[in-house]
Amino acid sequence: MQIKLLNRETDYALRALAYLCGNPGKTCAVGEMAKELGIPRPFLRRILQVLSREGILEARRGKGGGFRAGHGSGELSLLDIMELFQGRLRLNHCLFLKKRCPRTKECPLRKRLSRIEKLVAGELRRIRLDSLFDRRFSHGGENTGTH
């Protein structure tokens, strides 16, 4: 079994952000982006709507509409996007029970996982999106920065 740090939604959100940040000022239609990035259109639309609601992207309706990178979107951290689509980074939920463990406070495994969680979150917080995206990215999907 493989443990994934990034789920599919987060990966697709990062690809879309890379595409839009690589084409600053350009409003891109969902269909165009879906084709270029190889992401199912309905799935991409939902992701873009979340990013727009959060003020990360700007949305334009009507003819010539679509999405474009919002001001400062590249300054967000990888952790910001992960938490938006995956919730809080959690490594320390009890592995043995479905309910909250009554021994949470004295559990030696939980204490160690909690330290690791803080270290990982700190590193992810230091990774700014603009450091992942090649500003020269243009149509073609060669470099999304996510793989």
- pLDDT of res. 143: 41
Summarize pLDDT for 116-144 with one digit per residue, the tens: 999 999 999 999 988 887 654 444 444 44
pLDDT: which is higher, 147 or 82? 82
The DSSP output letter for 28 is B
Within 13 Å and on the Cβ side, how many CA atoms surround 106?
2
Q: Extract the tokens encoding 111.
A: 């204490």
Among candidate residues 130, 131, 124, the one with its CA nearest the CA of residue 21: 130
- pLDDT of res. 96: 56
Summarize pLDDT for 50-101 with one digit per residue, the tens: 999 999 999 998 888 899 998 888 889 999 999 999 998 877 666 555 566 6
Q: Pick one of 3.30.2320.50, 3.20.20.70, 2.10.60.10, 1.10.10.10 as the CATH number of 8-132.
A: 1.10.10.10
Threshold 0.85, pTM exceeds: no
Element (H, E) at 68: strand 66-69
